[in-house]
Structure 1
């Protein structure tokens, strides 16, 4: 196995599998930890564990589309928000993750109830949906509410947005829980006109990667998880800079680029990602404009 020492020990056996199985492994979603993401998870943990007070500190987790926000939330929930059914058969759900699509108060509560698989009628009033949601969150011990696609609250009229934000403020105040908004940088505009919310929502921004030593370390981490039989030297200056240019420093783009490059390396028999393979996918920019599938 010495010839596979460029791969992490837990993945070396995968490199010995047939090509079809190796490709299936490459296509799987995989977490690669890096300092910014790990720090964000720690900040979310501290936010959830803050002392109960009238004005609970909340946060916005913002960044470009496909730049790792959802993976961070997923990893945080795996570590600190796993639902558990206690001996009395009561669901304990410390972290509630839901998605908003518009600044509509009823829709916010409906999305909360859907996460609990709770029965409700769309004809119920706002106050009825609110009471039902509050009761479930109290009984199930919700300690943090995470709202994905937070930037969509910009849709609709200013009055609807004001009403939705006032509702979120009430949820935080009444239940004494922090709220985390997750979205693009437009999420900052959601709270722009409310000084109280601005002071309550601390901002965590996931930056795009720069072509530096941190990016080189990230490439090395990815290479250790790819079941290729030969070392690719992704962190080398020539290959690393080209990968950065094509991916734009976007983590999701980078991950998908390395996937298709690794699969091509298996198909063409090289079993390593070299500059020629990287160049052959220079068109690959899935989060810039329309997504394309190259057929020739």
Structure 2
């Protein structure tokens, strides 16, 4: 399979599969490594490894919608946060707890935590009951980090609700002595802007939009190596690279989806590579901030 040197070794056997199976492979979710993501994952690991103290350093992971936040968190959990069953004590150890918030409601925060443990509870329980149950589980399961996705949704509700929710998060960090990571859009910064104590605790990591630079070229190269096409596409060429960047609006999720549909078209058309004509055919592929359209004509 020397003729498929443009494809990563671990994917070269996929190139020889029937079209249907190659398309299925392209549609599967997989991790594409790039420098900023690697750095973000390492910073999360540093947070998790910090010594337990009264004021644990926490972080906000900020980025546009569909720009890689969830992928970074998933990869971090895959590498450093896998649950482990202590067979001797018959206890599940869960180093990283990931949950999602949808409003600044204290009960909802604890309910979301309990749901991640598959713990039985009643919605009629009081805040203090839910808090004690969640704290007990986090201690027993040796949780080392709490990640709250959609952190910007804490802006919803009243100022009093938001204040109470933030005070609760501060209590979790203080009592359990774990860092908290909030992942969300740039609006997440507004959640903590009126609380100097939280501002000093939450360091900010931003996942920027992509620009035409060496990191972007490396990203395109990584994508090409993961596409089971029989011909080299040369995605890193100036013409293709700049057009892909323009259509995707520098958004990682858009770029990923664009390359997926282009690769599938390359298979169906028999071209076996992504060229400028295929990319132009999908120039209607609108960025995340706008509507997506399925082209029927």
Aligned: 1:197 with 2:212: no
Q: 1:217 aligns to what SS in structure 2?
A: helix
Using the TM superposition, give the Cα deviation of residue 213 of structure 1 relative to its aligned residue in structure 2, in angstroms.
2.0
1:85 deviation in Å?
1.0
Question: Alpha-carbon deviation of 1:2?
Answer: 1.9
Mapped contact 1:7–1:225 kept (Cα < 8 A): yes
Partner of 2:160: 159
The residue number in structure 2 matching 1:147 is 148
Residue aligning to 1:242: 243
- Runs ≥4 residues deviating over 4 A: none
Unaligned runs of 5+ in 2: none
What is the alpha-carbon distance in structure 2 between the residues aligned to residue 285 and residue 86 of structure 1? 48
Q: Does 1:51 align with 2:51?
A: yes
Structure 1: 5+ residue stretches without partners: none
What are the equivalent positions in structure 2 for 1:75-94 lying under 5 Å apart?
A: 75-87=75-87, 88-94=89-95
Question: Is this contact kept in 1: 2:247–2:287, CA < 8 A?
Answer: no
- Structure 1 residue 293: Cα displacement: 1.0
Q: Secondary structure at the match of 1:12?
A: helix
**Which residue does the alignment assign to 1:29?**
29
Measure how far apart 1:288 and its partner are.
Answer: 2.4
Kept in 2, the 8 Å contact 1:144–1:177? The answer is yes
1:104-149 CA distance string (max 9 Å, x none)? 0000000000000101000000000000000000000001000000
SS at match of 2:62: strand
1: distance between equivalents of 2:204 and 2:14?
40
Matches for 1:221-240 after TM superposition, within 5 Å: 221-240=222-241
Match of 1:115 in 2: 116
Q: Deviations over 1:240-280 (max 9, x none)?
A: 00000000111110000000000000011100000000000
Give, in angstroms, the shift of residue 216 of structure 1: 1.2
In the aligned structure 1, how far is the partner of 2:135 from the partner of 2:214?
47
Aligned length: 296
On the 8 A contact 1:32/1:222 being kept in 2, the answer is yes
TM-score (norm. length: structure 2): 0.99
